[in-house]
Amino acid sequence: MNTRDTMELKEETIRSQYEAALGMVLGFDHAPRLAKPLVAAVTAERSPGIGTRPTFRSTVPGMATRTTARPGGVRLSERIEGLGDGLVSPVQAACLNALRRALAIALAIGETFSAQSGLAELKKANLEGRVPEPKRGEFGELLQGEALVVLFTFANALAYLIAPHVGPGTVELGEVEEVLTDNAPLALQGALWELDQDIGALGADDVKLVAVVSAFAEALMKKVQIRAENGARVSVFTGASWKVEADGLTIAGFKPAKAAKAGMIAMAFKKPHEVVGNHIAKYQSLRLSKMLMAYDFERRLNPFAELGGFIFTFMGDGKPGTGKTTLIQMMAGLLDGYCKVAGYPFRYQNFSIDQIDSYQGKSGQNAKAFIDSVIDPSVIGFGTIDDIDQVAGKRGDRQSSAGQQEVTAVFMGAFAGAGTVVRGNCTFGMFSNYPENVDDALRQRAGARFLVDGPQSREDYIDILSLLLGKNHAIPVGEHELFAAQEIKKAVAASFEGHSKPHEEGLLKVWDKVSGEIGTLDTLAKMGAYLKAIQQADDRFTGRAIKNITDAVKVRAMDFELPDQWMEEPDLFLFKPYDEKLAMIRGLMTPISVDMVIQEINRYADSEFRYADKSDEVAIAGMVRDFGRQEEAKRRYLEGKG
Which of the two residues, 559 and 257, has the higher pLDDT score? 257
For residue 530, pLDDT beyond 90: yes
- Please work out, in degrees rounded to the nearest 5, the angle formed at the alpha carbon of residue 310 by the alpha carbons of 307 and 312: 140
For residue 425, pLDDT beyond 80: yes
DSSP annotation string for 182-203: S-HHHHHHHHHHHHHHHHHHH-
- pLDDT at residue 619, rounded to an integer: 62
Phi and psi angles of residue 466, each rounded to the nearest 5 degrees, phi first: -65, -40
For residue 336, pLDDT beyond 80: yes
Q: What's the pLDDT tens digit per position in 204-219?
A: 888 889 889 988 998 8
Question: Contact, 554 vs 309, CB < 8 A?
Answer: yes
The DSSP bridge pattern shows strands 346-351 and 380-385 to be parallel
Measured distance CA(45)–CA(62) in Å, rounded: 35
Beta strands in 126-253 (DSSP E): 240-244, 249-251
The distance of Cα 385 from the centroid of its chain, to the nearest Å, equals 13
Question: Contact, 369 vs 170, CB < 8 A?
Answer: yes
- Asked which of 23-37, 41-55, 127-141, 616-630 is least confident by mean pLDDT, the reply is 41-55
Q: What's the pLDDT tens digit per position in 23-49?
A: 999 989 888 888 888 777 665 444 444
Count of C-beta atoms within a 10 Å radius of residue 492 = 19
Measured distance CA(527)–CA(39) in Å, rounded: 66
- pLDDT at residue 63, rounded to an integer: 41
Q: Look up residue 618 and give its amino acid.
A: V
pTM of the shown model: 0.54
- pLDDT at residue 13, rounded to an integer: 92
Measured distance CA(354)–CA(357) in Å, rounded: 8
- pLDDT at residue 277, rounded to an integer: 57
Question: Where do the structural domains in the chain lie, given as residue ranges?
Answer: 20-35+71-260, 272-497+550-591
Count of C-beta atoms within a 10 Å radius of residue 150 = 29
Q: Is residue 276 exposed (0-12), middle (13-18) or buried (19+ Cβ within 10 Å)?
A: buried
Question: Contact, 233 vs 117, CB < 8 A?
Answer: yes
Q: What's the pLDDT tens digit per position in 226-260?
A: 888 766 678 888 888 888 888 888 888 888 875 44
Measured distance CA(234)–CA(153) in Å, rounded: 13
Q: Look up residue 347 and give its amino acid.
A: R
What average pLDDT score do residues 587-600 get? 86
- Please work out, in degrees rounded to the nearest 5, the angle formed at the alpha carbon of residue 514 by the alpha carbons of 500 and 594: 40
- pLDDT at residue 91, rounded to an integer: 84
**What is the enclosing helix (H) or strand (E) of 351?**
strand 346-351
Ranked by mean pLDDT, the top range of 118-127, 259-268, 381-390 is 381-390
What average pLDDT score do residues 130-144 get? 81
The band of 605, judged by pLDDT with boundaries at 50, 70 and 90, is confident
Radius of gyration of the chain (CA): 30
Q: Is residue 322 exposed (0-12), middle (13-18) or buried (19+ Cβ within 10 Å)?
A: buried
Which of the two residues, 420 and 134, has the higher pLDDT score? 420
Instruction: Give the list of residues 6+ apart from residue 120 with CB closer than 8 angstroms, or none.
Output: 111, 114
Domain 272-497+550-591: CATH superfamily is P-loop containing nucleotide triphosphate hydrolases (3.40.50.300)
The DSSP bridge pattern shows strands 380-385 and 249-251 to be unpaired
Q: What's the pLDDT tens digit per position in 5-28?
A: 678 899 999 999 999 999 999 989
Residue 110 DSSP SS3 = helix
- Asked which of 146-150, 318-322, 361-365, 485-489 is least confident by mean pLDDT, the reply is 485-489
Comparing CA positions, the residue from 133, 112, 144, 131 lying closest to residue 9 is 112
Q: What's the pLDDT tens digit per position in 261-278?
A: 444 454 556 666 566 656
Question: Contact, 585 vs 307, CB < 8 A?
Answer: yes
Question: Contact, 492 vs 283, CB < 8 A?
Answer: yes
For residue 4, pLDDT beyond 60: no
Phi and psi angles of residue 449, each rounded to the nearest 5 degrees, phi first: -120, 125
Comparing CA positions, the residue from 387, 386, 384, 404 lying closest to residue 395 is 404
Question: Contact, 347 vs 218, CB < 8 A?
Answer: no
For residue 58, pLDDT beyond 60: no
DSSP annotation string for 398-410: TTS-HHHHHHHHH
List 430's β-bridge partners, or say none: 315, 385
Measured distance CA(492)–CA(43) in Å, rounded: 68
- pLDDT at residue 262, rounded to an integer: 41
Measured distance CA(193)–CA(216) in Å, rounded: 12
Measured distance CA(581)–CA(304) in Å, rounded: 10
Measured distance CA(357)–CA(360) in Å, rounded: 8
For residue 333, pLDDT beyond 60: yes
- pLDDT at residue 169, rounded to an integer: 61
- pLDDT at residue 393, rounded to an integer: 84
What average pLDDT score do residues 130-151 get? 84
CA neighbours closer than 13 Å in the CB half-sphere of residue 284? 27
496-to-548, 556, 558 alpha-carbon distances in Å = 17, 10, 15
Residue 248 DSSP SS3 = coil
Question: Contact, 274 vs 326, CB < 8 A?
Answer: yes
Q: Look up residue 517 and give its amino acid.
A: E
Averaged pLDDT score across all residues of the chain: 81
Q: Which residues of 325-351 are buried (b: 16+ CB within 10 A; e: fewer)?
A: bbbbbbbbbbbbebbeebebbbbbbbb
The band of 618, judged by pLDDT with boundaries at 50, 70 and 90, is low
The band of 510, judged by pLDDT with boundaries at 50, 70 and 90, is very high
Q: What's the pLDDT tens digit per position in 442-474?
A: 888 887 777 777 677 787 788 778 877 877 888
333-to-61, 269, 478, 526 alpha-carbon distances in Å = 55, 5, 32, 43
The band of 97, judged by pLDDT with boundaries at 50, 70 and 90, is very high
Comparing CA positions, the residue from 188, 166, 175 lying closest to residue 99 is 188
Question: Contact, 448 vs 427, CB < 8 A?
Answer: no
Question: Contact, 113 vs 237, CB < 8 A?
Answer: yes
Q: Is residue 60 exposed (0-12), middle (13-18) or buried (19+ Cβ within 10 Å)?
A: middle
Which of the two residues, 369 and 279, has the higher pLDDT score? 369
Percent of the chain residues topping a pLDDT of 70? 84
The band of 192, judged by pLDDT with boundaries at 50, 70 and 90, is very high
Q: State the DSSP code for 241.
A: E
List 250's β-bridge partners, or say none: 243
Question: Contact, 83 vs 55, CB < 8 A?
Answer: no
For residue 493, pLDDT beyond 60: no
